[in-house]
Structure 1
Amino acid sequence: MTPKASQEGRATGTSFKGVFAYLQHDKRLEGQDVNSTSDRVEWQEFRNLATENPHMAYRIMRATANQQDALKREAGQSLAGNKSDKVVFHYSLAWHPDEKDDVTKTEMMKAADESIKALGADGHQAAIIAHNDTKHPHLHVVINRVNPEHGKMLDLWKYQERLSKWALGYEQSRGTIYCEQREMNWKRRDLGETFSADKCEVYHKHDQAKGLGHANDNEIRKIMAAQKAKDAALAENGAAMHERHSEEWKDLSKWYATGKAKIAGTSAGDTPTPFQKARAQIKEQYRPAWREHYAKQRTETKYFEKREQRLLGKLENAVSAVKMNKELAATDKGHAQSSLFNFLTSSKARADALEQLHAAQTRKLG
């Protein structure tokens, strides 16, 4: 087992989007600006994130880091202390090639969780991403250093020693020592000697040592710059399309209202028109559906209010609010979308999202 993080302080970074862009895609081929394929991603798991969607995961991690002070205030913590924007911590775990047939997904997840705990980060948001592009099994771990409960930063003092000590115990528990140098180093440490690192690269050179990627490298910046340019062009085209559709929708609504009024008509006396008769029949037919509709909405509101009593419950409601917001935007062209950060920080915004969705469902059934 070899745990590795970039040397010279480069294990930490500022961009969740950048490190996810690198880990979620294949390495760039020569001449490529961006590689959009993801064949090397074998599987991925998330911790303390209320989502299994990687695109949502890094946004939640970013939003959590952005509200560090608010989390501290809510937890009654002091806002004093050194500030740092290095909220991303990234390292990898690699097994010996001889273990390839014995190391299952369950074993890899177990090791990842143990290493996170060894760092004191088991309460932090984390992504575990396994790759299959090398002869040796390996995975990457991305940790949000800002704790989602109280906002404190993860202390990385001597993190290399902590990972090294855990890795030694891990190999001992599996019955085979692949990194003999590490075992010797710890015996010498026990005698009072000092080491900056174990330098155990017996069976592979870590990708980061070759400059192939970490949270802040130039390759990621190029990917982000290219994506930013694409986003800008897409936004410009989207704005023009939205304006055109808005005018078309106004004309369609006017035509529909005129046609509806003509079909409905009015009764000259007490005798209802055929349309009015049909409407009354449909109203009676749908009465059970209305009862079920309102019962379902009352249940959803009840569980929403219950989740609002817990911090992780608020996070679940925020993620649900984003989904509801997108659902409304897909059916209502005039609906203004809110950001994930707005839902994370505002209880009223979360409640409004649920209320607006319920209103749209009621209109649809009507």
Structure 2
Amino acid sequence: MQVHPQLQQLRDELRARFPERQDVIDGALATILCGEHVLLVGPPGTAKSGLIRAIARAFGAVLFERLLTRTSIPEELLGPMSLHALDKGHFTHVTTGMIPEAHFVLMDQIFAAGSPVINLLIRLLDERVFLNDGAPVPVPLVSLFGATSELPENGTQEHLFDRFLLRFELDYLQRPSSLRTVLAAPEPTAATMLGMEALSAMQEAIPNVKLTEETLDAAVVLRDAMKEEGLVASDRRWKKSLRLVQAAAFLAGEAQTCPEDLTTLVDVLWHHPRERERVARIVGRLVNPVAFQAGEILEDGREAAAKAHALKPQHRRAYLAQAARALLILRAQVEMLVRLSGSASRRARAIIDDAVAELNELHAELARDVHANQGLKVLK
């Protein structure tokens, strides 16, 4: 299946403008394609809002944004009551510029809201309707993005939390080059414009991606392995996740799914961020062991580089020793990944290529820093 070339171009542009957010970008695009919702968990200033705004602009979509508080009321989302209608005994919202007209919605600090707003959002997410004078009115909502620095604290919030099919935990940028890119760049946006008609056409193509028996068998094995580890997701969540798997295959340009597409479930199946690493290990081991191994190699490289950078302001000699070790480790890891690529599938090779590129960049950053600031000969 030919993936829409402009969609691929948009994906590449977003990856360039939002470093260290590749998984979030791919997940957000797949979620939009299957009409589901995304929760972004992390501190303020981690580009959560900027990324969603850039995606909305690329599709020419109407975006509604609101920062929620304990005192937020439904009228802040649906619009004020019409005074003219009230005079006639009707409770009708004036919806101009509000959620009922939006394709994408961004709710910041979503769990800060009280029960009336949360119950309103749950109905919007489940049914794509709101009540206007007691009658359900459809809305054009494609996806709602929730942003939060805190996880749910009560049952009502938990019900809303469960409506987000994909959940990502974001942190501040780790690599110096990523921070430098963000600091030097203008307000992040995307040059590619697709439009809502193109999005609708791509959404209609998702059910045509064949869900293979091999993928279904792997999903059952994965579900059982998760249960053995005490990680349980609802049947509804598993059912919805299969459409996300089809969207992931579509993004990869495939006409049918394969077990590797289940990798996207890493950010579907955790309930608390501390569970994500366990979920990633189970998913990786069962459905994409080559890509999982590549991810572990990449994470080791990140850790080695981070240890060197952490020593820099404290102890010059220790920094030089750790930097020298890290440079050798990074170079060896690239060689390991190149060898691993020889036995990888096409999609696993794409993941490996991304890991190689990042490790090479980490090596170049560290080598430049050592050379510029410490006078150490750079290893080519």
Query: TM-score surpassing 0.5?
Result: no
TM-score normalised by structure 2 residue count: 0.23
Q: What TM-score do the two structures reach when normalised by structure 1?
A: 0.23
Higher helix content, 1 or 2: 2
